[in-house]
Structure 1
């Protein structure tokens, strides 16, 4: 009997649907991670018609995509990166790198690796390529493209100069300029300045190329070294470009064989568009120039906003010492009077060698002023032409300055260096108004904090928060030191107010202290929605309160995200506010087109374009279409309380194909507050953490709970919060109470190690880079910075409390110390630690392992030689991902143990030692 056409169609559809369902049920594992890609290097053209982005696959090479947002045009450039569009939207330039495999081979052979610069005409698709590119720049008007090349590998000369290729993009004329060490267009694109550094210093100098006429002017030439080229418009806003770009500053130096630093002079060229003038600051003849000091090449030159001053660095000249190291003792003297411990000095030695004091030069009066010295080393730059703020941190230098650097604040006169102290022991500052007249800072007063504005012109402090019925310090800040504010939104265009953030709302504070207004009218507090001002115009210096304001919005308890619009005097109204996370918001400079990412646990943060109304979204990228083939989970929010009645949340990832009422195995992954990651996409990447997407695909629940702390109780607080959250998920019927694993890394590693010793709620624990002995950890060194752990222990992340030490509060340290409870461990556990960990010393992990081994506990230490606080080598990352999954599968899901879990791996059987290079 023949089948009907309908039956055949039905069979075909059934088979198709079945194959699709099977495809969607593929289980995600580490072997699949190389199919996932990141989006990197996103750029938007000024007219909003083009977008460039790179796709970077896990463990693979970038591919650059240049796509039209108005039609179907697109270009794909393998190995392309660092795209930049021309100002006139006609061109895009980028570099082309060498693939990673070839790069490794070349580096192993000692060959130099070069990159190409490529220019793409967006209208015609025509390309121009330049080999051995070092620096790339468009003129601001988009009419010229310049590429400075690397010297060929065969050129072993020591001079810094190399070829500069200048292309006129309107005429296609190409000009090759030799021996260029630095170059820069002025912002109005009328001139190109460059420095020549040639062999034997022949032709060295400062040159000016007129881009309209093509004429070349030699501003200065000598057998000297030139550096630090800086236009007076380098940092100027676009509105000032036409009035600037007519002055240059540069250093001219002579090297002396017996001295470390070049003997530099400062050259200032002005009126470059008409009658050029040159002014020289020569330390040998300048009045009041400090003896034994030089103009430093370690600090960039910069101009005051009005072009009246040039700022530069001062350095102490030092003789070159010629000594045989074999005759000199190699000793570090750790002294109790050191302001910084020797290990800190060692880590900061390079920074200290490059440190310079700040000075100013007035070319009109030919006068010099020293602005910083040993008594006040830091100057916070601004656009004010007369005064800036200096900082003196020395009176408060301490090992306990974790997260804060207290300082006395000074007003510094830029013309003569005169300074006036206006505030003492200020821990937190919030910066200048755009014109530099006002400086906002936080001050501790009467056991509370207040916001003060300092008027640099009037030398006057004003308490601008006194009129507000609220305090602006973040009361939820989780560390036992002075809490910060919630931040600043900006300064109003009328020059009369500053807008600052409160927990939910925005407040406008009058600069004379007379008034405080909740401009979001309490809607944030009412709906527990966090409003923040969103500036999409990078040229906008002030907030124009006469116009509609764009606000980002985040629901504290709903986790909804989006944007609101507000007019001062009215309540904010939503534009888009939904169960997703929006990020990477950027508006085209010349139109209202906006690009942004939209992300959920299920949806990779692909890019969309819309406009400033945020009404219609058009998808641009589809970075990971292969995800549709895999079983994927989803997320729900869980609310719970700890034993103190504190309301908390967790985000719970449900396994793929979740069946309500069924109890599942679960992994608990935590750190501090995790519920705000509810809409975070779980990107499969090579690293050292459990990925929720992978475990959900493999039938696990993954709980990420919030965690809050009582000071002095870091371990017991986390035990309370994490077990409360876990029990809540059990009570809700999601989790099988006999099949729950726990994982934490770093600070989470300490907490997971402590919890391990206190409860048998978890079937197993995996702890990564864990501080495990608080008494020993207190005096350990943070390897990356050289600091000891006193600050992080007392007022930082461990939160013991200021002055709470192992000697003054021994019982607290013992109570919170995992090492003291090793005999109580009843749970099998695994430790991850890299031997070169720069945050938590490897010995902490080894000590915990040794103690547990001595007590006969079921423990494995995965030690990765040469690795830091997080695994960096891809092979190691993959290895740990596999072993961690095998560990959880065995102890949580009761899958048979892998051989290494049962028998270990003898050192001589280690595969790495057998592998060939």
Structure 2
């Protein structure tokens, strides 16, 4: 097969015509994008608004290269930037900013493995009023005090000093073997911590205080208190101390040999700190901790005690999270059950007889037993065990009442801390873990009383992804189940369907999976249990707990105009809406794909349009103590820079411009296209015409799809080098890009693809945009599968690229997703693969939807890509398709990226695949000469 002769005269003629058209129309200042140009585009990462609304902070990070951190004044042209800054923080009083500066990319890539360990971050402090800067080196962590002008950071003691300390330790004489082992264990613990020092800086005067051998620290929010832990080399003088940075008064809270102090959590008033105290001289394997609370006003410590029965069966682990309620009346933390460790047998033989000791021999086995009645298959059990090691069973301590209440237990395992004064929501999936294999994730839901730990069952076998909202009193829980919104009342232990008599559906109207239909979500409760705000497809409803007096708050505008309204939460600490509140809503046109902002006044139910354009808008944040908010605006040609505005979207202005180089490049223009599928169903898609599009000229087209992509009409394409085709990269180089919606039918997902997209392709051919002989198809993962199936049914595509696809549903069905250890059966029966039955019930559908069985029908050149440690799709699926097409002497190439998962992670591989993908399409769609790897392949190479 001579690929160099495949390019036709027609394609060569197109290339010449296109080139002449570009020469005639191109702006001399604009040029097509190259791969290296994509690398240099930046994205805004973690934007934050100071609490007073006066400063914006963000990092501008390129796809490859070093970031720049920016601090911009909202009401003046003042701006600071920190080269190579990646992240930062603004003090609560808005006076100071701290920016982390890691080693440069060049430094990291030049360093060998040993040298990389020595590379440390720097920290730059900026006084925002004056612009004064100071830099600290080798900083591991830092914290700014909220309102007192202080900085605390941990750094390493210089290496020479640390070496001397190590020498001093190793020169100590050993005692008995048992004593030596115990001391070595303690020293091992402490040796991980002693090479740190804490530096406290007065940012107004520049004065510094250095405290050696600090293990951890934390500033209070509203007081000038700092708590820190000392871990000495021998563990003898380990201690917990507090420092008032304004008065320089130091308080010794606890001192105890071989103790650890961590988990620091200040209450909101800043006069109490909770912490964990551990004892590392314990001989057992369980490192049990004690939770204590220090009160700064009287310098007293309260120990949270457990009873003897609890202590015998439960312990407080170091992996924990101490969380105060906003009113400071409750402290949440976690327990773990004591699990008896199985006795270990020394497998090392001590005599000839031991060589034949069956017990010793079998103790050294490497075995996992997969039993048919196991609740989890072993791979998922291993994954779950990893999660369980980090989890705990939540309890609450009522501070004023000095009462500890256990909220979670071995049957009801999951409880999250809450600001609700009366109750929390709890869930457990223990009864449904076996169903993960073929049906999905489910949980039983409870309301747990904070005062006594009593559990009230809300509902059984609820989808684990369903939202459950607790009312302010803790009496009611609102949730979606069986296509309706329900209210559970724990006072009378009853649940009520409160939407059954309403004229609209609260179930997903576009659901095309063979599973229970999900809902649209619950925005939240009003204060005093005065109702709950819920969503249908378009509108926001206010529903009462008795199901009466339901009000649609947006129906006059929403559904009649196909506008979807959703609430933006302006305050992360606000748990309930006031009935006098004005809500900021985001709108989305399901028909026209544009976005906007509206305001909904709950007091008078008035809906006001604030901003609506042919753009995509996204709310980011509101200033904590000012009526300022941040949002982004974008379309295909406009990067989503940050805008600042008042709460009613007045006085809005663009405040960032992170990619000014965008104007240097040819780009393209998007438009919405509509057509009818082969089944007569209305479909939409986005057609991105190439830069300097010439009316009447036909262009090569790259089709990229997954499920619904028409919502991307006003999205700026992510400027990254990865496994996806970069749209502007193609449109600036003479391609059109087509993003069609796919509507799936349960049982025949493979056939659904062509039923949806082929009429769409005919539409853009009829529009005179697409060259019918130069259409390429690209998909990854699920759409990689669709791509394989599509080319078994049609020859319309000149070439196809498929990344990480399933090719054989019969062999993939009982495979394992290596990332989570889950069986793949649920995906086919209930999930994305949409078969809707087991393979044993409808094996015909599994065969019918498997492209590998119809590889003999493929005439389209195919390029496949797989990482050979893919954690979602077994990469052997690619091998199966490759082997079938190779045996049939079809045109196929498989790119195996070694050591890569489902999405490429290593940057050289991303670049390589991006280039090869473009070369492949250039050859088959534009008649460019075939690259050498396409003609000759490449001999096996040893991994580097």
Task: Settle same-fold status: TM greater than 0.5.
Answer: yes
SS in 1 for 2:786: helix
> 1:264 maps to which residue?
289
Tell me if structure 1 keeps the 8 A contact 2:469–2:479: no
Q: 2:901 aligns with which of 851, 868, 872?
A: 868
> 1:291 maps to which residue?
312
Looking at structure 2, the residues matched to 522 and 151 of structure 1 have their Cα atoms a distance apart, in angstroms, of 66
> 2:45 maps to which residue?
40
> 1:224 maps to which residue?
258
Q: Does 1:75 align with 2:98?
A: no
Q: Which has the higher contact order (CA 8 A, sep 6+)?
A: 2
Deviation at 1:458, TM superposition (A): 6.4
Q: Does 1:347 align with 2:383?
A: yes
Looking at structure 1, the residues matched to 583 and 426 of structure 2 have their Cα atoms a distance apart, in angstroms, of 34
> 1:405 maps to which residue?
441
Q: 1:513 aligns with which of 536, 547, 553?
A: 547
Select between 849-858 and 804-813 the one with higher mean Cα deviation.
804-813
Select between 28-37 and 834-843 the one with higher mean Cα deviation.
28-37
Deviation at 1:290, TM superposition (A): 4.8
> 1:9 maps to which residue?
none
> 1:495 maps to which residue?
529
C-alpha distance 186-511 of structure 1, shift in aligned 2 (>3 A): farther
SS in 2 for 1:882: helix
Looking at structure 1, the residues matched to 553 and 413 of structure 2 have their Cα atoms a distance apart, in angstroms, of 39
Tell me if structure 1 keeps the 8 A contact 2:458–2:477: no
Deviation at 1:557, TM superposition (A): 1.2
Looking at structure 2, the residues matched to 668 and 475 of structure 1 have their Cα atoms a distance apart, in angstroms, of 26
Tell me if structure 2 keeps the 8 A contact 1:228–1:300: no
C-alpha distance 180-885 of structure 1, shift in aligned 2 (>3 A): same
Q: Does 1:565 align with 2:599?
A: yes
Tell me if structure 1 keeps the 8 A contact 2:477–2:489: no
String of CA shifts for 1:351-372, please: whole Å, max 9, x gaps.
Answer: 2333433344456666554433
Q: 1:542 aligns with which of 566, 569, 576?
A: 576
Tell me if structure 2 keeps the 8 A contact 1:437–1:455: no
Q: 1:705 aligns with which of 716, 733, 740?
A: 740
> 1:210 maps to which residue?
244
> 1:169 maps to which residue?
203
Looking at structure 2, the residues matched to 34 and 772 of structure 1 have their Cα atoms a distance apart, in angstroms, of 32
SS in 2 for 1:892: helix
String of CA shifts for 1:807-858, please: whole Å, max 9, x gaps.
Answer: 2111111111101101111111111111111111110001100100000101
Q: Does 1:254 align with 2:279?
A: yes
SS in 2 for 1:668: strand
Deviation at 1:531, TM superposition (A): 1.1
For residues 322-471 of structure 1, the aligned pairs below 5 Å read 328-361=364-397, 368-400=404-436, 405-427=441-463, 429-433=466-470, 435=472, 437=474, 440-442=477-479, 444=481, 448-456=482-490, 459=493, 461-466=495-500, 468-471=502-505
> 2:108 maps to which residue?
103
Q: 2:565 aligns with which of 513, 525, 531?
A: 531
Q: Does 1:846 align with 2:852?
A: no
Deviation at 1:645, TM superposition (A): 1.9
Looking at structure 2, the residues matched to 80 and 519 of structure 1 have their Cα atoms a distance apart, in angstroms, of 45
C-alpha distance 334-455 of structure 1, shift in aligned 2 (>3 A): same
Tell me if structure 2 keeps the 8 A contact 1:260–1:317: no
Looking at structure 2, the residues matched to 456 and 129 of structure 1 have their Cα atoms a distance apart, in angstroms, of 57
C-alpha distance 42-338 of structure 1, shift in aligned 2 (>3 A): same
> 2:124 maps to which residue?
118
Looking at structure 2, the residues matched to 749 and 581 of structure 1 have their Cα atoms a distance apart, in angstroms, of 28
Structure 2 unaligned segments of length 5 or more: list them: 1-22, 167-189, 349-360
Looking at structure 2, the residues matched to 136 and 320 of structure 1 have their Cα atoms a distance apart, in angstroms, of 42
> 2:31 maps to which residue?
26
Tell me if structure 1 keeps the 8 A contact 2:645–2:653: yes
Q: Does 1:628 align with 2:628?
A: no
SS in 2 for 1:572: strand
Looking at structure 2, the residues matched to 491 and 362 of structure 1 have their Cα atoms a distance apart, in angstroms, of 25
Tell me if structure 2 keeps the 8 A contact 1:117–1:147: no
Deviation at 1:626, TM superposition (A): 2.0
Q: Does 1:619 align with 2:625?
A: no
SS in 1 for 2:801: strand
Q: 1:812 aligns with which of 829, 833, 845?
A: 845
C-alpha distance 97-320 of structure 1, shift in aligned 2 (>3 A): farther
> 1:237 maps to which residue?
none
Deviation at 1:67, TM superposition (A): 2.2
String of CA shifts for 1:704-736, please: whole Å, max 9, x gaps.
Answer: 000111111110111211212112211222211
Tell me if structure 2 keeps the 8 A contact 1:299–1:356: yes
Deviation at 1:578, TM superposition (A): 0.7
Q: Does 1:887 align with 2:893?
A: no
Tell me if structure 2 keeps the 8 A contact 1:300–1:312: yes
Tell me if structure 2 keeps the 8 A contact 1:23–1:629: no
Q: Does 1:196 align with 2:219?
A: no
Deviation at 1:231, TM superposition (A): 3.6
Looking at structure 1, the residues matched to 402 and 568 of structure 2 have their Cα atoms a distance apart, in angstroms, of 44
For residues 632-781 of structure 1, the aligned pairs below 5 Å read 632-781=667-816
Looking at structure 2, the residues matched to 728 and 843 of structure 1 have their Cα atoms a distance apart, in angstroms, of 37
Looking at structure 1, the residues matched to 527 and 423 of structure 2 have their Cα atoms a distance apart, in angstroms, of 21
C-alpha distance 310-695 of structure 1, shift in aligned 2 (>3 A): closer
> 1:316 maps to which residue?
338
C-alpha distance 223-320 of structure 1, shift in aligned 2 (>3 A): farther
Select between 82-91 and 465-474 the one with higher mean Cα deviation.
465-474
Looking at structure 2, the residues matched to 246 and 906 of structure 1 have their Cα atoms a distance apart, in angstroms, of 69
String of CA shifts for 1:123-172, please: whole Å, max 9, x gaps.
Answer: 22222222222222122225322212244445366152532222233444
Looking at structure 2, the residues matched to 769 and 885 of structure 1 have their Cα atoms a distance apart, in angstroms, of 18
Select between 211-220 and 819-828 the one with higher mean Cα deviation.
211-220
String of CA shifts for 1:461-496, please: whole Å, max 9, x gaps.
Answer: 444334533331223233222222212222224530
Looking at structure 2, the residues matched to 359 and 544 of structure 1 have their Cα atoms a distance apart, in angstroms, of 30
C-alpha distance 763-151 of structure 1, shift in aligned 2 (>3 A): same
Tell me if structure 1 keeps the 8 A contact 2:439–2:829: no
String of CA shifts for 1:211-253, please: whole Å, max 9, x gaps.
Answer: 44332222221113233444452xxxxxxx4xx4333322222
User: Over the residues paired in the alignment, what is the CA RMSD in angstroms?
Assistant: 2.6
C-alpha distance 636-142 of structure 1, shift in aligned 2 (>3 A): farther
C-alpha distance 462-673 of structure 1, shift in aligned 2 (>3 A): same
Tell me if structure 1 keeps the 8 A contact 2:669–2:689: yes
Structure 1 unaligned segments of length 5 or more: list them: 1-17, 234-240
Tell me if structure 2 keeps the 8 A contact 1:437–1:457: no
Looking at structure 1, the residues matched to 885 and 718 of structure 2 have their Cα atoms a distance apart, in angstroms, of 34
SS in 1 for 2:534: strand
SS in 2 for 1:252: strand
Select between 449-458 and 643-652 the one with higher mean Cα deviation.
449-458
Looking at structure 1, the residues matched to 661 and 879 of structure 2 have their Cα atoms a distance apart, in angstroms, of 41
C-alpha distance 361-590 of structure 1, shift in aligned 2 (>3 A): closer
Looking at structure 1, the residues matched to 611 and 395 of structure 2 have their Cα atoms a distance apart, in angstroms, of 50
Looking at structure 2, the residues matched to 860 and 435 of structure 1 have their Cα atoms a distance apart, in angstroms, of 60
Tell me if structure 2 keeps the 8 A contact 1:383–1:435: no
Q: 1:280 aligns with which of 297, 300, 303?
A: 303
Looking at structure 2, the residues matched to 345 and 225 of structure 1 have their Cα atoms a distance apart, in angstroms, of 34
Looking at structure 1, the residues matched to 872 and 893 of structure 2 have their Cα atoms a distance apart, in angstroms, of 21
C-alpha distance 180-359 of structure 1, shift in aligned 2 (>3 A): same
Looking at structure 1, the residues matched to 122 and 208 of structure 2 have their Cα atoms a distance apart, in angstroms, of 17
